[in-house]
Amino acid sequence: DAKTTQPTSMDCAEGRAANLPCNHSTISGNEYVYWYRQIHSQGPQYIIHGLKNNETNEMASLIITEDRKSSTLILPHATLRDTAVYYCIARSRGGYNAGKSTFGDGTTLTVKP
């Protein structure tokens, strides 16, 4: 499974868009990019996932580069409640790594008033 690299921390002003980058240069063709966030040692919460097309849901948008080596999670209007650790992971759809998810250190996003 591909290793992901994220910045350690980021700040964002409340009401502004938060853009969280993730590098997954060794991602393979059958690995999806998933984003989760974790607040205060609660269980991580699913945000969004994608394979190669850009995706949008009620929480966020996911932009994946054409070569799939990196992606960006966009929270369009960040609120104080979006302060959390955000994890980007590559999750295999099959093969010997199916079911295994490697979480990196994540990005601590702090939304400031």
Partner 1 sequence: KAGVTQTPRYLIKTRGQQVTLSCSPISGHRSVSWYQQTPGQGLQFLFEYFSETQRNKGNFPGRFSGRQFSNSRSEMNVSTLELGDSALYLCASSLASYGELFFGEGSRLTVL
55 phi/psi in degrees, rounded to 5: -130, 150
50 binding partner 1? (CB under 8 A): no
Nearest approach in angstroms of CB 97 to partner 1 is: 7
Maximum CA extent, the chain: 45
Give the footprint of partner 1 on residues 2-21 (CB under 8 A): none
Sign of CA dihedral 113, 109, 18, 79: negative
Per-residue binding string, partner 1, 24-43, x by CB under 8 A, is --------x-x-x----xxx
Q: Indicate the DSSP class of residue 44.
A: P
Among 3, 76, 101, 112, binds partner 1 (CB under 8 A): 101
Dig out the tokens for 42 from the structure: 């609660």
Positions that interact with partner 1 (CB under 8 A): 32, 34, 36, 41-46, 49, 87, 91-94, 96-106
